Amino acid sequence: MGGMEQTQPRKRQSPLDRVLGRVEDLDPTNLAILVQRLAGERDLLETVFNTIQEGILVIDADGVIDYCNRAARHLVGIKESEVGKAVLWKMVPGLTRSLGVAFDGTLSEATPVVAQEIEITYPEPRHVRLHLSRLAEEDLDSPRFVVILLDITADKISTEDLVESERVNSIFTLAAGVAHELGNPLNSINIHLQVIQRQLARLEPGVTVGKIGESAQICAEEIARLDGIIRHFLEAIRPAEPDLQDVNLLTIIAEVVALLRSQLEDLGIHVTVETVPELPLISGDRNQLKQVFFNLLKNAMEAMDQGGPIDIKAEADDDFVYIRLADSGAGIERDDLTRIFDPFYTTKSGGHGLGMMVVLRILRRHGSELGMESVPGKGTTVTLKFPQKHRRIRLLPARGESAAEN
């Protein structure tokens, strides 16, 4: 027993290892064939990895990127020439903190397998599912780690949009029911008020009769005002199915600016419009889109109590028309910006908090999108993205409705 010789387990060799083990015995011709074969296999693997939709990176213990496929280069914003020099932690700041991995800038063999959803803000905002694990090759000079990045932005947005749509629809349905029910007692009050006014008309004129008549008239006017508010409210939260026709967005914007011209002049606000020579037409409902630009311009005006410019820029690419409306007003705080589309949320005294929700609902019915950027004290920029006529667009259905395509 004591003299028994211990043997080490033999390391499994790949066919390539066996070939490379005899490389010294190869003549120049067979060596050239081997090099060509290796280059071909490398090109094949490179093609396969670049075809994969997931981002694949190989990093060392310091986070230096040794390999990066095409999808990963797109997600983290790295150039092919930077591979071998760029550090992942610098390309995606805050990544180590997001992963919850406690280390002083380096990974080790003890670093656990990590699976985490992260948000990347550069080169573009993306939601990514990240998987980090150590390469288990025993003959590596130093630890290497593989990072797999799966872009889940579309799934994330679709889920959030669905939840938000359901929540908004339920609130609007409740609000519409309450508004409708308010109309019944208002009608009853109005009928009885008319009876009182007819009875007053039969009495002898006097100070008391005159005062009662004035009060009755004020009540009648207020009832008419409330009835108008309810009617417009119901029209706003239950927009009709868009009557799609060929429309020129610049024409609609010009009509809205003309409608608000006196108010703009009183506030010292001047509107400038910059556009490409021939802005493509879109399919849209003129009246609904007019309401969109009216609400956006009113919001901009209310944020510009010191006057100033509102710049509108219209441009297009092969598929979309873009309208950017930038004001120079007070801007919106970050916390408020995240809630600007919430129903009944408003920072304005007397505001009902429905304007931007109505805008969003109309745009969705047109297959359009809205983006907003704001800097407190400098202003807000709203970007609208409309599909051109030749694109088939999906009209987002209201609750209980079926989807329609144009």
The 10s digit of each residue's pLDDT in 113-132 is: 777 777 776 667 777 888 88
Tokens of 33: 């064939």
| Helix 249-259, helix 286-302: angle, nearest 10 | 50
What's the CATH superfamily of 54-151? PAS domain (3.30.450.20)
| Chosen CATH of 156-237 out of 3.30.1490, 1.10.3470, 3.40.50, 1.10.287 | 1.10.287
Least confident residue range of 75-89, 233-247, 253-267, 343-357? 343-357
**Above 70 in pLDDT, residue 22?**
no
Most confident region among 118-132, 173-187, 216-230 by mean pLDDT: 216-230
Q: Is the dihedral of CA 26, 27, 32, 37 positive or negative?
A: negative
pLDDT at position 215, please?
A: 86
**Above 60 in pLDDT, residue 25?**
yes
d(CA 242, CA 130): 42
Spatial contact of 145 and 59, defined as CB atoms under 8 Å apart: yes
Q: Which CATH class is domain 245-405?
A: alpha beta
CA angle 271, 277, 283 (to 5 degrees): 85
Task: Enumerate the domain spans of the chain.
Answer: 13-51, 54-151, 156-237, 245-405
pLDDT at position 214, please?
A: 86
Q: What is the pTM of this model?
A: 0.45
pLDDT at position 4, please?
A: 46
pLDDT at position 24, please?
A: 64
**CA proximity to 308, closest of 275, 334, 286, 330:** 330
Split at pLDDT 50, 70, 90, the class of 14 is low
